[in-house]
Chain A
Amino acid sequence: MAKMTYREAVRDAMREAMRADPRVFLMGEDVGKYGGAFAVSHGLLEEFGPTRIRDTPLSESTFVGAGIGAALGGMRPIVEVMTINFSLLALDQIVNNAATLRHMSGGQFGVPLLVRMATGGGRQLAAQHSHSLEGWYAHIPGIKVVTPATVADARGLLLAALKQADPVMMFEHATLYPLEGESEDGTIMEIGRAALRRRGKDVSLIAYGGALGKTERAAAQLAQLGIDAEVIDLRSLRPLDTEMILASVTRTHRAVIVEEAWKTGGFAAEVCARIMEGAFDALDAPVARVCGAEVPMPYAQALEQAALPQPESIVKAVQGLF
């Protein structure tokens, strides 16, 4: 166990993977000389050199596609797309190629590729730099989607992703990079297992990524109000740990899903549907969602904060169930 930031945990995991496996390399915009737009890869160029820490031109579609090709060719690429906002330029490669190749080739070709990127809002970057579209990617069979919310998971899920035979997309909420915590060594996590962050008996709060911290703060406030909330961190959106969700809701009889993305067609809707399908009879109240407001992200601080889930809005949603 070592104390470090989320940023350092991602970096350490990449360093460990590159030391252990010569097939692993990192490429993306400004991952080398600049040290990474979020300083995640800072220092890696010095250790591994420009052959393994590859700065790319501004060509999202092609360097993600090249990651797919390199994976087909026997490498274990890590592709860093600066942020999820720019991943829209690589959607074709991710959706039409990475996700389909194994099936379309009748099982002959797999794509062991890790695509990492920052996601989320909350930093006053306005409408083009604040997206939370990881739920879109979770829609697609053939890829796996992980959303580490803790320092230990940042490391553990990255290392687990590099053990997969298939493409994994890892979404790092940009506000988490300075987060401090303990990083466990040596454990290889299983992708597809949620984590029970807080035990409680009155309501299940289900969150992931950047929404987890706010949800935990809401749980603490609810405790003051006499409501004992359970907090589940999904960690992986695909595969989704439906079992843990249903077990929790079956115990608590109430559920609130918290997600930064827009409510309409968001991932929270999927979780909600799974609860309806698998635990309808256990519910004592309708499932509630606390999501991003249906507006392109505004710049002004008060407006942006109002557009995002907050501990207060979560508390209010929970109170509405009793």
Chain B
Amino acid sequence: MSIHKTAAACVNGREHGLSLLRQMLLIRRFEEKSAEIYSAGKIRGFLHLYIGEEAIAVGAMQALSAGDAVVATYREHGQALARGVPAGRIMAEMYGKANGCSRGRGGSMHLFDAERRFFGGYAIVAGGLPIAVGLALADKLQGRLTVTACFFGEGAVAEGEFHESLNLAALWRLPLLFLCENNLYAMGTALARSESQTDIHLKAQSYNIAAEAVDGMDVLAVESAAQRAAAQVRRGDGPYFLELRTYRYRAHSMSDPELYRSKEEVAQWRGRDPLALFEAYLRGRNMLDDADMKTLEADAANDVEWAVAEAERGGWEPVADLERDVYGSVAA
């Protein structure tokens, strides 16, 4: 598999560099805490961690502005955090509390935030792609110069909706940014065991969509590719497709014994940890020292502690409200 070599991306100033690292660190620590709380039984249901893939959500989100839309999957804590959904509201949602970002109706897999145009986590593989096509269509019909960013795993590539959505987005030249998080496994099925063509961006190109493969462990590479892609989408030149090559360090979900991959393989990918890589990059340019790192770690720990406190503090939705929000009132 080849990754298109473009000039190595550079960080846009120290402050920005620290901000990227801070966001990735928040996701990492948030996810570690979620796993811990899951083991304690306060988070239930399915829990899919984003550890190892942080550079993608953080890098890609740099290219979006407030008016843009985000569609994600069940593995979406990272995207929600990077989009600015408050950590406390996400944690509260996983607790099933009324102050959760979906009022305790969604849980880990279904985070929503209308204010931030975060259109949710979708738990049917590939099910979010057609929704993203429609959001982009609505933008185009209303003459809005916005981007709909649609995240999905490489497992979605095998579904019909993937192909239908790419075709329709290209055919109608919709302002849609496809972000395929290729972490090489769909649950236990390795990409090469499910696809005859494993270079996913080539599939996008066959639909006449501008597409490239990007090192998803390099936050700067993701950021610059996303900026380039979003700029083209915003110009009205139709969709853009990024295949972001990454790896999930943890199990698929909390109930996965990981029989399908070797410890050596995981260790090898841990050698390219997106946080460690970027930390080294910043240190190498004298943008980060031990004291900065300590501060960043303390900030992340603090944010996560706050999030947990907010979740603990939240109340439960009364069972009397069970059937609310099934239908709205008649609209004008």
Contact = CB atoms under 8 A, between A and B. Distances in A.
State yes or no: do A and B come from one complex: yes
Interface residues of B, number: 46
Interface in A84-110: 92-93, 96-97, 101-110
A59 B105 CA distance: 30
B129 A65 contact: yes
B114 A108 contact: yes
B137 A73 contact: yes
Interface string B146-178: 000000000000001100110110010000000
B260 interface: no
B326 A106 contact: no
Interface string B82-105: 000000000000000000111111
Given A109-B120, A142-B326, A62 B130 contact: yes
Interface size class of A (residues with CB under 8 A): 35 or more
A63 B331 contact: no
A61 B160 contact: yes
B133 interface: yes
Given A63-B168, A72-B131, A73-B69, A109 B114 contact: yes
Contacts of B105: 103-106
B141 interface: yes
B134 A65 contact: yes
B268 interface: no
Contacts of B69: 73
A65 B326 contact: no
B2 interface: no
A73 B143 CA distance: 12
A292 B85 CA distance: 52
Contacts of B122: 96-97
A70 B326 contact: no
Contact of A62 (B102, B112, B165, B329): B165
23 contacts: A57-B171, A62-B130, A66-B133, A69-B131, A69-B134, A72-B135, A73-B138, A75-B137, A75-B138, A93-B127, A96-B127, A102-B325, A103-B105, A105-B114, A106-B102, A107-B325, A107-B328, A108-B112, A109-B114, A112-B331, A141-B326, A164-B330, A165-B329
Closest 10 A/B residue pairs (Cβ): A69-B134, A65-B130, A73-B138, A106-B103, A165-B328, A62-B164, A105-B112, A59-B164, A66-B134, A107-B325
Interface of B: 69, 100-106, 110, 112-114, 119-120, 122, 124, 127, 129-139, 141-142, 160-161, 164-165, 167-168, 171, 324-332
